[in-house]
Amino acid sequence: MGKPATKLTTLLRYAMFILVASISLAACGGAGATPGGTTATTQSITFWAAPNPPQQAFWTAMAKAYMAQHTGTQITVRAMPESPSSEAGIQAAIAGGAAPTASENIFTGFAGQLVGDQAVVPLDQMPGWNDLITARHMDQTIAGWKFADSHTYVLPIYTNSILLAWRMDILKQIGYDKPPQTYSQIIAMGEKLKQKFPDKFVWANSALTQNTWWQRWFDFFTLYDAASNGQSLIDGNKISADDQGAINTLTFFQNLMQKKLLLTQTATDPFETGVSVMSIIGPWQFTYWQQKYPQLKLNDTYTLSSPPVPDSYPAGQPVKTFADAKGIVIYKQASAAQQQAMWQFIKWVLSDPQHDLQWLQTTSLPSARDDLSTNTVFKSYFDQHPELASFAQDIPNAVPPLKAAKYTDIQVALGDDAVIPVVKGQTAPDQAWTNWKNAVQPMLS
């Protein structure tokens, strides 16, 4: 996903590049051209797709189909710049006055920066917003995308809910026919594992001792979202975290390390080779397994589950998890007519479940729909890809990333002040959490 914001010189260099490219395209009859390209009555709009060929192919096909039915709209689909990052390319385009009409590939943290810069349109104020949310069955999914000002600026396209994989072939050897669900159950399982297999671990994750900001999505946030029932760490300019949920998460890390059930040394594919029995994964993992570890079979070698929860978690309550998710924004630099034309295109694409099926088939990214696992339109797809069914089922429970503009600094501090010192045995969980809060509050003022 994204990287920290680039320096001003980098942004200006990209702005000049994009401006020159835009001028050249206009001279050749590109978006916004006059006779010889498009007619004076044609509304020309530009959509930037993620720098990923399958996503570009989907949006190109959608634009072609839409234009065949709506001759007054000319849609140009391009891949957004990706070096040094797609976020930097967008920032440069905005700085140079050359932003597209809309783009995908926006996650909530980067959206927080765009909102702070007043660069994007509140989509919930666009005509037919509620109708689209109803048509795409997104009532639960969209709730987590609302910002502190009560507006929604990003329309999610896909949601990779994050789940746990368990090596059931190994767990069966120590008497388990299903994975443990609570922290204490995992610790008890780990002690049995060590008795029979002294060289194995419950979890292997070298990233727990590194302060790479985005790694916190796939360790702390996955477990914290479960422990806190999805309570956001930040709300506007204040810390809104569930303190006990955060301390419980850090205490779980501490207990794993103290019991020698956690491996933080670098190891190649520890879950796949059986060095560890638990792994936090997204649905992208299966392509790699199919290519390199075809012996891993769902409901045979491994199984999937929601993240574990504290022992005090209410029985029967759905378990939240982290969402690796991105969506579409419309940029304020576009004219009002261009914004409306783009919105009509977006509504047309996302109101039809057949389009979401085409998205799935083209990109393998789970559409951000509450009904993805139950709508019969998608049944044949999940029959062919059963390993993805659990991820689809958990989409309504998946919590998107922080919406704070300083998400990178906040998550670096989460590593430096909380996760790393707890895992290394340097700081108690409650003190580590206090240290993180003290470090972050000044960032929000």
Query: Can you tell me whether residue 180 is helix, strand or coil?
Result: coil
Pick the CATH number of 163-321+403-444 from 3.40.50.11540, 1.10.3720.10, 3.40.190.10, 2.40.10.220: 3.40.190.10
Q: What is the pLDDT of residue 36?
A: 38
Q: What is the pLDDT of residue 397?
A: 96
286-301 pLDDT per residue, tens: 999 999 999 999 999 9
> What backbone torsions phi and psi does residue 389 show, to the nearest 5 degrees?
-60, -40
- Residue 82: pLDDT band (50, 70, 90) is confident
d(CA 330, CA 338): 10
d(CA 234, CA 76): 37
| Contact criterion met (CB below 8 Å) for 73 and 345 | yes
Q: What is the pLDDT of residue 98?
A: 95
Give which of 265, 282, 50 is closest to 164, Cα–Cα.
282
Task: Give mean pLDDT, residues 399-422.
Answer: 97
Q: What is the pLDDT of residue 26?
A: 36
Give which of 152, 54, 156, 50 is closest to 105, Cα–Cα.
50
- Residue 35: pLDDT band (50, 70, 90) is very low
* Helix (H) / strand (E) containing 160: strand 155-161
DSSP secondary structure of 258-290 = HTT-EE-S--SSTTTTTSEEEEEE-TTHHHHHH
Residue with tokens 């992208």: 284
DSSP secondary structure of 104-118 = EEE-HHHHHHHHHTT
Identical fold at 8-161+324-399 and 163-321+403-444? yes
How far is CA 85 from its chain centroid?
16
171-190 pLDDT per residue, tens: 999 999 999 999 999 999 99
Q: What is the pLDDT of residue 263?
A: 98
The proportion of the chain whose per-residue pLDDT surpasses 90, expressed as a percent, equals: 89
99 against 17, higher pLDDT? 99
151-168 pLDDT per residue, tens: 999 999 999 999 999 999
Q: How much is the mean pLDDT over the chain?
A: 91
Burial label for 19, CB within 10 Å (0-12, 13-18, 19+), is middle
* Fold assignment, 8-161+324-399: D-Maltodextrin-Binding Protein; domain 2 (3.40.190)
Task: Give mean pLDDT, residues 318-332.
Answer: 97
| Contact criterion met (CB below 8 Å) for 120 and 331 | yes
Q: What is the pLDDT of residue 18?
A: 40
d(CA 212, CA 205): 13
- Residue 83: pLDDT band (50, 70, 90) is confident
Give the residue extent of every domain in the chain. Answer: 8-161+324-399, 163-321+403-444
Cα–Cα distances (Å) from 131 to 135, 155, 209, 372, in that order, read: 6, 13, 46, 18
Task: Give mean pLDDT, residues 241-253.
Answer: 98
Q: What is the pLDDT of residue 15?
A: 40
Task: Give mean pLDDT, residues 47-54.
Answer: 96
d(CA 153, CA 348): 18
